[in-house]
Amino acid sequence: MHSACWQKRGWLRVGLLLAAIATTGFAHSRFETRSRVELGQLQVPSPDYVKLWSLGFDAAIADYYWLRAIGVVGAEEGAVEEQGEVLADLIDLVTTVDPWVGHPYRFAAVWLTRDREMVERGNRLLERAISYHPLDWRNRYHLGFNYFYYLDEQMRAADLLEGAIGLEGAPGYLAPLVARLRSKRGGLQVAAAFLVQMIESTEDSYKKAEYLKAVDEIQIEERARFLDDARVEYWRRNGGDIEQVSDLLAGPKPVLQRLPRAQLHLDGFEWILDPESGQIVSSYYGSRYQLHESQADRSRKQEWRELGEGAEAEGA
Amino acid sequence: MSDRAEIVRVDDLVKDVRPGFGLRKKRILEGISFRVREREIFGFIGPNGAGKTTTLKVLMGLIRATSGQASILGHDVSEITFRRQIGFLPEQPYFYDYLTGREILRFYAKLSGVSQESRERRVAELLELVGLTAASNTRLRSYSKGMLQRIGVAQALVHDPQVVFLDEPMSGLDPVGRKEVRDIILRLRDEGKTIFMNTHILSDVEMVCDRVAIIVSGRIRYEGAIDEFLDAGEPEADLVFANLPAETAAQLEESFAARLRGHGDRIELRIAEKDSSAVLRLALDAGAVVISATPHRVSLESIFLSTVNEADAEGDPQ
Amino acid sequence: MIGRIWAMAINTAREAIRNKLLYTLLFFALAMMLFGTILSALSYVDRERMVQDFAFASIRLFSVAIAVFVGVGLIHKEVERRTVYTILSKPLSRAEFLIGKYTGLVLIIWLQVVIMALFFSGVSLLLGAPLGFTHLAALILTAVELALVVALATLFSSFTTPLLASFFSCGIWLAGHLTRDLRDHGASSASALVREGTAWMHRILPDLESFNLSIEAAHQLPVAASDIWFPALYGAGYVAVILAFAVMIFERRDFR
């Protein structure tokens, strides 16, 4: 009788406990639990404010915000495009609290490419990096790359790269690269050389793939230019233009034995004449490469233009 | 007696306290003076709140007097080094309860400057003296109140002081514990120590003290040897009879100023001690049976109470 | 005198060692270090350095917590529990008592910093992270900061309750880390009051940022010897001043 009473009470307790757990779980499923990064609502405090209140925990606080910055990039595809400001703010914060960090500066520079403004923010961070790490060639290199590749300022890029020559670990081809930049020649090779080094120095696989694609496109562009020369030769020999690219191999006086691949890694693409411009283009890319404009960058530049027009329209 | 050296001198000691922030000052010692002489057991007695503990704390340097002087062994109480010569047991003493009995005595011995060579021996002796040898390696946390009191006595004596100050040494102890403490006090006197003792347990005072001071409401009302104190007035005796005829009783009441009290068929008479033979003879002649005959001591309690009452009547306006 | 202070110090250290709070906080500090190790795995660069940064932060955070929360009870508890009665009746001055208590707690806190530092070194060696002189320098200055925090807690403990004392101690610790930046911000203020006020705050309050080598330790930056010894001397002087005030207050107290 006594034990039965205890048993009953025991069951009651278990029941209450289960009810409490169920209520907690139910309530938790009913409100927003996605992180602020995922929601794009991450509020980054002012760097000066955090620096003031770091209370001697500077290094750990910088690390914490660095982890958040990685979180922004890793959150989802395209997050960086949307949250460029947040990333820029976070890296600004990290490098204000702990300016001696190395990688975060270049991380920011590599990702802050959405528009001119972002590139310039990235450049400002790189300038801070150079002031704290004057002997690290990589920051100068990244800054030079940004000027050359995104902002199209070859002379500025050359000056920056020149500063990196001879620094510990700096690759040997910096000097010829600078010379080429100065001579304003060989744009394609310069771009390719720049990109190859970026591929080597970046740890980020997504960004690496993007650079690889750009390098591929430059190679295709070089082939297209080769085909352009062949086309001129064809005209000279046959007194008229090709009607299709395969004419270069056929006709009464062919100029080529065979055509190069129109895509480096994929089959099923060919060289065609662009009906609009009349240029020889790879059917994979559909247009010719212009310096500093890989396929990835074209869409970006398009956006810049649209944004610029939007701004102008607003201004008017 | 008065030619003995003065061990404790207190002259016109005044202490004002502010009971709380912003409250008016209250005078709790109104200029007290007394002396404690060498090798005596001095009882400092008074009702609760009279200023006993305050006085003792002034002597121990725990409280600073507003005015007046207090010195022990010729040193002002604000000095430090002479404390090597004194021992103190506070009321309901508290100690670090994370230490064992042995550890705490060792600690106090070290603080009192007992040399390293004699320290362990002294600690063992005192544990033996207060009967805590068996519990010496137990933490004070699990000590009973009586054991803590005994450790308190031990720490007060660990450095073999000349003068010992005890605040309510017997309170909170069972009868056996009280007897033990009493024995220790008497033994200390035999060893030539001077003992100052605060107490309100008057029977203890009667049993051990040589001299007393009574403090009431911050004033000393009496200071003197306990025998003088008790001997004030004519000695009396109590006689108890059975079968005492009523007319004899009336006669005794009239001729010897006897005070009568009835206890059933027995009658108790209080008379002057010098008349006891005459009274007994008369009563026996009348056929009474003597049950008891005892000298009547004036109890300290009655004197104490009358002193306190007097003070109340004359003093405070409330 | 030294003997009595030392007896007091050893006893205080023994009390702290038997304080459960100490072990709880030590446990949390070690747990935090472990947590830092997990957290740093989220990064793909500088993981070892981040483990060290988080470990170092844990050492500081929990040592400051111990310094404050054990420190504020240091004197107050003695008075409250009346253990001070028997002790001060011995040939021991109040200054000796207070300095002894202070020394004991500082020793224990330094001891637990050493324990955590050993753990820190173990983790660093395990991860192959660099251990250098700068880490030692940063730990030394952290120890000085802790000595200062204990002194603050002791000062407040000598006249107020543990709760208020911990508020005051934490407040001054916070302010001590802010004054340098506040002075710099204040210097550009148009108001002379703000300029002078922030400058004086920086002069009077403990400039705890002087003991902050966390960035230097993180990146093994070179630290000049004078950047260790002068702050250490500053800290020692400051501790002496605080303790002098604490003794002055404590000597005036009546234990009623």
Specify whether B196 is located in the same domain as B279: no
Per CB-CB distance under 8 Å, the chain C contacts of A52 are 178, 181-182, 185
Specify whether B255 is located in the same domain as B288: yes
pLDDT at B298 (0 to 100): 67
Report CA torsion sign: B223, B225, B227, B233.
negative
In angstroms, what separates the C-alpha of B96 from chain C's closest C-alpha? 7
In angstroms, what separates the C-alpha of B90 from chain C's closest C-alpha? 7
Specify whether B240 is located in the same domain as B204: no
How many of the other CB atoms lie within 10 Å of CB of A142? 28
Could you tell me the strand order of the sheet in which B236-242 lies? B259-263, B266-272, B236-242, B289-296
Specify whether B183 is located in the same domain as B117: yes
Specify whether B176 is located in the same domain as B262: no
CB-based contact, C144 to chain A, within 8 Å: no
For residue B33, give every residue at least 6 positions away whose Cβ sits within 8 Å of its Cβ, in sequence order, or none.
B10, B11, B12, B13, B220
B93 occurs within a structural domain? yes
Three-class DSSP category at A4? helix
**DSSP letters along A228-258, please?**
HHHHHHHHHHHSS--SSGGGGTSSSS---SS
The helix (run of H) or strand (run of E) holding residue B209 is none
Q: Which residue has the higher pLDDT, A168 or C150?
A: C150
Q: C115-126 pLDDT, tens per residue?
A: 999 989 998 898
Q: Answer yes or no: do A70 and C43 touch at CB < 8 A.
A: yes
pLDDT at A111 (0 to 100): 86
pLDDT at position B2 over 70: no
Helix, strand, coil distribution of chain C in percent, nearest 5: 80, 0, 20
Phi, psi torsion values for B292, nearest 5 degrees: -155, 155
Report the complex ipTM: 0.88
Specify whether B186 is located in the same domain as B59: yes
- Closest by CA to C85, choosing from B72, B155, B109, B15, is B155
Q: Answer yes or no: do B62 and C255 touch at CB < 8 A.
A: yes
pLDDT at position B111 over 70: yes
Strand B75-76, strand B67-72: pairing: antiparallel
pLDDT at position B1 over 80: no
Per-residue pLDDT of chain A (316 residues; tens, 9 = 90+): 566 676 778 899 999 999 999 999 999 888 877 776 666 667 788 998 898 888 989 999 999 999 988 888 775 555 666 678 888 999 999 999 999 999 999 988 888 887 888 899 999 999 999 999 999 999 999 999 888 888 888 888 888 888 888 888 888 778 878 877 877 655 777 778 778 877 877 777 777 877 888 888 888 888 888 888 888 888 888 888 888 888 888 777 778 888 888 888 888 888 888 888 788 888 888 777 766 555 555 555 565 555 555 544 444 3
The helix (run of H) or strand (run of E) holding residue A136 is none
CB-based contact, C181 to chain A, within 8 Å: yes
Q: B236-260 pLDDT, tens per residue?
A: 888 888 888 888 888 888 888 888 8
Boundaries of domain holding C99: 2-252
Strand B26-37, strand B6-17: pairing: antiparallel
CATH code at B267? 3.30.70.600
pLDDT at position C39 over 60: yes
The average pLDDT across B99-126 equals 93
For residue B105, give every residue at least 6 positions away whose Cβ sits within 8 Å of its Cβ, in sequence order, or none.
B122, B123, B126, B127, B151, B154, B155, B158
Rounded Cα distance, C193 and C196, in Å: 5
Per CB-CB distance under 8 Å, the chain A contacts of C219 are 98, 100-101
pLDDT at A302 (0 to 100): 60
Rounded Cα distance, A205 and A6, in Å: 63
Rounded Cα distance, B279 and C113, in Å: 88
Rounded Cα distance, A163 and B124, in Å: 81
Rounded Cα distance, B74 and A43, in Å: 74
Rounded Cα distance, C56 and C147, in Å: 17
Pure H helices in B3-144: 52-59, 101-111, 116-129
pLDDT at position B316 over 60: no
Q: Answer yes or no: do A63 and C53 touch at CB < 8 A.
A: yes
Chain B: touching chains (3 or more CB pairs < 8 Å): C
Domain A42-206 classification at class level:
mainly alpha
pLDDT at position C155 over 60: yes
Q: Which residue has the higher pLDDT, C232 or A33?
A: C232
The average pLDDT across B21-36 equals 89
Please give the distance of CA A313 from its chain centroid, rounded to a whole number: 29
**H/E/C letters for each residue in A157-179?**
HHHHHHHHCCCCCCCCCHHHHHH
Phi, psi torsion values for A176, nearest 5 degrees: -60, -35
Q: B268-304 pLDDT, tens per residue?
A: 888 888 888 888 888 888 888 888 888 876 667 777 7
B204 occurs within a structural domain? yes
pLDDT at C101 (0 to 100): 95
For residue A178, give every residue at least 6 positions away whose Cβ sits within 8 Å of its Cβ, in sequence order, or none.
A158, A161, A162, A165
Specify whether B149 is located in the same domain as B16: yes
> C98, C246 in Cβ contact below 8 A?
yes
> C91, B112 in Cβ contact below 8 A?
yes
Take residue C69 and report the two structure tokens written for it.
């929360």
Please give the distance of CA B86 from its chain centroid, rounded to a whole number: 18
Per CB-CB distance under 8 Å, the chain C contacts of B95 are 83, 86
Take residue B157 and report the two structure tokens written for it.
């004596």
CB-based contact, B17 to chain C, within 8 Å: yes
- Per cent of chain B over pLDDT 90 is 42
Q: Answer yes or no: do A63 and C44 touch at CB < 8 A.
A: no
CB-based contact, A52 to chain C, within 8 Å: yes
Q: How many CA atoms lie less than 13 Å away from B124 in the CB half-sphere?
A: 5
* Residue linked to tokens 């670090």: B96
pLDDT at B132 (0 to 100): 92
Rounded Cα distance, C239 and C153, in Å: 11
> B236, B272 in Cβ contact below 8 A?
yes
Specify whether B223 is located in the same domain as B260: no
Take residue B131 and report the two structure tokens written for it.
């009967």
- Closest by CA to A108, choosing from A80, A76, A77, A141, is A80
Specify whether B78 is located in the same domain as B218: yes
- Please name the amino acid found at residue A116: R
Rounded Cα distance, A247 and A235, in Å: 11
Give how many domains chain C has, as a whole number.
Answer: 1
Take residue B167 and report the two structure tokens written for it.
């605040």
Rounded Cα distance, C46 and C36, in Å: 13
Chain C residues with at least one Cβ partner in B under 8 Å: 3-4, 7-8, 11, 14-15, 18, 81-93, 252, 254-256
Specify whether B131 is located in the same domain as B262: no
How many of the other CB atoms lie within 10 Å of CB of C154? 30
- Please name the amino acid found at residue B44: F
Give how many domains chain B has, as a whole number.
Answer: 2
C-alpha to C-alpha distances, B282 to B66, B257, B262, B289, C203, nearest whole angstrom: 63, 14, 19, 11, 98
Per CB-CB distance under 8 Å, the chain C contacts of A66 are 43, 50
pTM for the full model? 0.82
Q: Answer yes or no: do A63 and C178 touch at CB < 8 A.
A: no
∠B179-B182-B186 over CA atoms, to 5°? 140
Mean residue pLDDT of chain B comes to 87
> A139, A106 in Cβ contact below 8 A?
yes
Rounded Cα distance, B161 and C90, in Å: 10
- Please name the amino acid found at residue A300: R
For residue A210, give every residue at least 6 positions away whose Cβ sits within 8 Å of its Cβ, in sequence order, or none.
A294, A296
pLDDT at B12 (0 to 100): 94
The average pLDDT across B141-170 equals 92
Identify the bridge partners of residue A271 per DSSP, sorted by sequence position.
Answer: A282
How many of the other CB atoms lie within 10 Å of CB of B212? 25
| Closest by Cβ to C11, choosing from B84, B94, B96 | B96
∠B132-B133-B139 over CA atoms, to 5°? 70
Q: Answer yes or no: do C91 and B80 touch at CB < 8 A.
A: yes
| Closest by Cβ to B83, choosing from C8, C85, C89 | C89
Take residue C83 and report the two structure tokens written for it.
């253990």
Q: Answer yes or no: do C254 and B64 touch at CB < 8 A.
A: yes
Please give the distance of CA A155 from its chain centroid, rounded to a whole number: 22
Q: Which residue has the higher pLDDT, A235 or B44?
A: B44
Phi, psi torsion values for A273, nearest 5 degrees: -90, 125
Q: A192-210 pLDDT, tens per residue?
A: 877 887 787 777 777 787 7
Boundaries of domain holding B55: 6-231
Take residue B10 and report the two structure tokens written for it.
């207190």
Domain span(s) for CATH 1.25.40.10 in chain A? 42-206
pLDDT at A257 (0 to 100): 81
Task: Choose the mutation target among C20, C90, C93 for the interface with B, i.e. most B CBs under 10 Å.
Answer: C90
pLDDT at position C168 over 60: yes
Phi, psi torsion values for C35, nearest 5 degrees: -60, -40
CATH code at B25? 3.40.50.300
Pure H helices in C158-225: 162-187, 192-204, 214-219
The average pLDDT across C7-34 equals 87
Three-class DSSP category at B115? coil
